[in-house]
Amino acid sequence: MKRLVFLIAPLIIFSSSFSFAQGSGRNSALSNKIFLPGKMGYTLFWQDDFNGDHLDSAKWSYRESSRRIGVFSKDALSVKDGVLHISAFMKNDTLHTGIVETKGKFSTTYGYFECRAKMQQSTGIWSAFWLQSPKISEGEDPAVFGAEVDIFEYFKQYGKDFTTHAIHYAYGPNMRSKGPILSYKEGLDQGYHVFGLEWTPEKYVFYVDGLKFHEETFGLSHIDEFIILSLEIPGNKREIENIISPDGFLIDYVKVYKKR
């Protein structure tokens, strides 16, 4: 998860989207047709509904490590009432959040990836659902070494009704990135929403609540990628001065569909 930095073009896009969206009751989707994976030739291939009272270790692992101004901690993870809770809280003046991943347990190439989630309420920290290649640092061709595909990131400081998407590849001094790619949908800060990515040999397609918002051909990966869910930590303590503690990123399910 690379911290996104606005360049001139994204700033223009954001400003334009923000101005048309405020109070309009509209969204910025490319289509109002709901994407239904079953009708598009996909069948359910892998899923976790987070039933039970603990994280399924056959499907997920977690990291305990330093991260910018805070730490990823096992204590920030819990499963209850069919929901994975990734919490954010202050402990000994240090921000604690969590991250889980399917690395070494499940990865695949192409498909439709979806999660139903409720975002955090604080600014500074951000919820994220993303794919990553285990080879992304080994070379500069995304077709061969893979990419990071941020299916969604929720930076509340961009506006409560905006989510972003991004693509990165070639971790290292020659890293290439596209994003933040902005999507506006009224009500994103309230309740649960469904975020999806259709990844094919030709493109990435980003969905929010079944609506298509973006198609991208940048950084196309053609190798297996694994899934990550995280509540990300900023690099500056000023960004968490107004953090709501505790806060959290709640995930109802994650599903992966493949073509028949």
Q: Are 62 and 100 in contact (CB under 8 A)?
A: yes
**Could you tell me if residue 2 is inside a domain?**
no
**Could you tell me if residue 91 is inside a domain?**
yes
Structure confidence at residue 213 (pLDDT): 97
Give the count of domains, the chain.
1
Please list, in sequence order, all residues whose beta carbon lies within 8 angstroms of the beta carbon of residue 206, skipping any fewer than 6 positions away.
151, 152, 165, 181, 183, 196, 197, 212, 213, 214, 215, 216
**Could you tell me if residue 96 is inside a domain?**
yes
**Could you tell me if residue 21 is inside a domain?**
yes
**234 preceded by a cis bond (ω within 30 of 0):** no
Q: How many CB atoms are closer than 10 A to CB 187?
A: 12
Q: Helix, strand or coil for residue 237? A: helix
Q: Helix, strand or coil for residue 258? A: strand
**Could you tell me if residue 3 is inside a domain?**
no
Instruction: Dig out the tokens for 119 from the structure.
Output: 């975002």
Write down the pTM of the prediction. 0.90
**Nearest by Cα to 147 from 166, 175, 172, 167:** 167
**Could you tell me if residue 173 is inside a domain?**
yes
Residue 74, domain CATH: 2.60.120.200
Structure confidence at residue 245 (pLDDT): 86
Domain that holds residue 39: 8-259
**Could you tell me if residue 131 is inside a domain?**
yes
**Could you tell me if residue 121 is inside a domain?**
yes
Residue 184: beta bridge partners? 162
DSSP 34: P
Structure confidence at residue 1 (pLDDT): 60
Q: Which residues of the chain have pLDDT under 70?
A: 1-26
